[in-house]
Amino acid sequence: MKRRPLAVVGGGLVLALLGYLVTSAGPSTAAESGIDWQQCPDTEVKVECATVNVPLDWSKPDGDKIHIGIARVKAKDSANRIGVAMMDPGGPGTSGVLDMIRRKGKVFSDAVHERFDVVTYDARGVNTSSRVVCDEALASKADKLLTPQSQADFDKMTAAKIELSEDCRRRTGPLYDHTDNRSVVKDIDAIRAALGEETITQVGYSYGSLAIQQYAEMFPRRVRALVSDGNADRSPKGASLAAWVDDHARILERNFIAFADWCDRTSSCALYGKDTKKVYGELRERARAGKLTDPDTGDAVDFYQLNRLTGGSNYPDNWSRFATRLKGLSEGKGATSVGAGRADAAAGVPPRLPHEVWFCHDFDFKVKNYAEWNKLVKRTAAKYPNVQWSDHSTHALDCVGYTGKVTNPPRTPKIDKSVKLVVVGNLYDFATVYEGSQAVAKQTRAPLLTYEGYGHTIYPGIGAAGPSTCINQAVDDFLINLKKPANGTRCPDLESPK
C-alpha cells in the first residue's frame, strides 16, 4: 500500500510474455449474464467495459443500488476456456478498469489470457463505479499536515481531517459509509454471479490481498483458485498501530543498508569511498535541524521529505540515481528532484481519493494525541538508526479525524482447508512486508511462494528486471492446472543494481 498521489496511477506491474505449453484443464462456458458489454473508451485494444448493480448497503439487499464498473478481455482460446480470472486491484483506491486499459488488456501472463476471460473492477467509490467525491483542496491540505511536530500541529491535522471526512460524506452521500472491504468482497461475488460463473479464479495484489482473504472466508464454495500477491496481515496483532509503523520502517532500513553496502563497494556509485551511511546520516541531521536545502530550488528539505526520497533504496535499478541525488544534496549542487513524486491528475482521470475512504473501515488505527504519536516516532528512530522512519508508516495517521466507523475490523482469517489458495511474497517488499505474507500463509494454511528480490508484488512481472519465469510458471500452473507449488518454494531475485 502506497502513500497516495493526487493522480490515479496503475498498479505498477510489468506484463510477462510467456510461450510454454500447458496441459488442458477442460473447456468451460459461462452462461449468458445479460451484462451490457461495450468497447471501453480511450483504447483501441479489445477491452470491454460494463457495470453491475449491487446494493448500496448489503444488509439491505432490496434497498438503494449503486453500480460497479468492470472490464473484460475474452480468452484467446475460447474452445479451451477454463472460466473467469479476476484481478483484484490494490491501493486502496486503484482503478482496476483504468489499469487494464493502460496495460492494453494484458494484466496476467499470456498463458492465463489464453485460457481465461480476464476481468477486473473498480471498487465501490472508484472511477467507473459509483464514486466517492471529496474536495481535492481539502485532501491536499490534510495530506500536508501528516507530520505533526507538536500537540498544536496534531490538533491542526485532526481538524483538517475532520473537515475532509465531513466534506466527503456530504458530497458523496450514504456510499461514504459503505466502502469497507467486506462490502467489496460481496460486490465481487455479485460480479461472479452476473457473469454466470459457478466458481471464480482471482489474483489479488497488495490491498487486494484483503479481498482474497475475505472472499476465501465468506465464499469458499465459489472459489476455484486464489492467488494473493503482496499480503497485508489482517490479524489483530499484524494490523496493530505499532506493527504497522514498525514493519514499514524495518524494511526501509533493511533496503537502505543493502543500498549503502553496495555503494561502498561499487566504484561507479556516486558515493563510493565516502561512507554512504555517514553521508546520509549527516543529511538527515541537517534536515532535522532545518539546514538542508534543495540545490535545484533553494527550498528547505525537512526530515520527512528526505525520508520519502530514501524510498529510492527500495529498487536496485534506482540505486545509482538515488546515490547521485544524495551526493547532490550533500554537496549543494546537481539535480536532486526532492520535490518530485506528486503528479498532477491526468486529463479525464478522476483524482485519487484519500486512503481513509476505504482504509479506516478496515483498520482500527487510533492515535489519541501528539504524545502517543511522538513516542512511536522516537521509538522507531532509535530502533532503525539510519532511516529512522518510513513514509508508509505515516499511514497510521490516516484515520485520525475520520468520522466514520470501523465496520470491518481486523481479525485472523478462518478459511476452510479445502479452499485452493497460494500466497506470494517478495522478500524485500517495502509496502506489504514479507512478514505479512508469511503470516497470511500460516493463518490460511496456504503454500508460500517467495520471490527473493525487491519491488512490490511480482506476478506476472517486475519493473526493469522483467518477469520471473520461476514465479510465473508456478502461479500459472496453479491458476490453469490447480497444481499448488510446494510450500517454501523460493525463486531467485533478478535485480541488478544500476
pLDDT in tens, 90-149: 999 999 999 999 999 999 999 999 999 999 999 999 999 999 999 999 999 999 999 999
Q: What is the pLDDT of residue 360?
A: 96
- Mark residue 24 as left, alpha or beta (left: phi above 0; alpha: psi -120 to 50; beta: remaining): beta
Q: What is the pLDDT of residue 141?
A: 96
Average pLDDT over residues 149-176: 98
| Average pLDDT over all residues of the chain | 90
Average pLDDT over residues 339-366: 70
pTM beyond 0.75: the answer is yes
Average pLDDT over residues 364-380: 97
Average pLDDT over residues 3-13: 29
- Asked if pLDDT for residue 21 goes beyond 90, the answer is no
Sorted by where each begins, the domain ranges of the chain are 38-132+184-238+410-491, 136-175+349-397, 244-331
**Least confident among 57-71, 165-179, 342-356, 373-387:** 342-356
Q: What is the pLDDT of residue 355?
A: 87
Of 175, 223, 231, give the one whose Cα is nearest residue 207: 231
Average pLDDT over residues 179-203: 98
- Asked if pLDDT for residue 13 goes beyond 70, the answer is no
| Per-residue confidence band for 337, with pLDDT thresholds at 50, 70 and 90 | low
Task: Give the whole-number percent of the chain exceeding pLDDT 90.
Answer: 86
- Asked if pLDDT for residue 303 goes beyond 50, the answer is yes
Q: What is the pLDDT of residue 464?
A: 63
Q: What is the pLDDT of residue 9?
A: 26
Q: What is the pLDDT of residue 353?
A: 84
Average pLDDT over residues 373-377: 98
Average pLDDT over residues 85-93: 96
> How far apart are alpha carbons 322 and 453 in whole angstroms?
18
Which of 346 and 227 is assigned the larger pLDDT?
A: 227
Residue burial 447-475, b: 16+ Cβ < 10 Å; e: rest: bbbbbbbbbbbbbbbbbebebbebbbbbb
Average pLDDT over residues 361-381: 97
311-331 pLDDT tens trace: 999 999 999 999 999 999 999
- Asked if pLDDT for residue 20 goes beyond 50, the answer is no
Average pLDDT over residues 409-423: 96
**Least confident among 21-35, 287-301, 370-384:** 21-35
Domain over 38-132+184-238+410-491 is classified CATH 3.40.50.1820: yes
Query: Which cell goes with 239?
Result: 494490523
Of 262, 328, 88, give the one whose Cα is nearest residue 188: 88
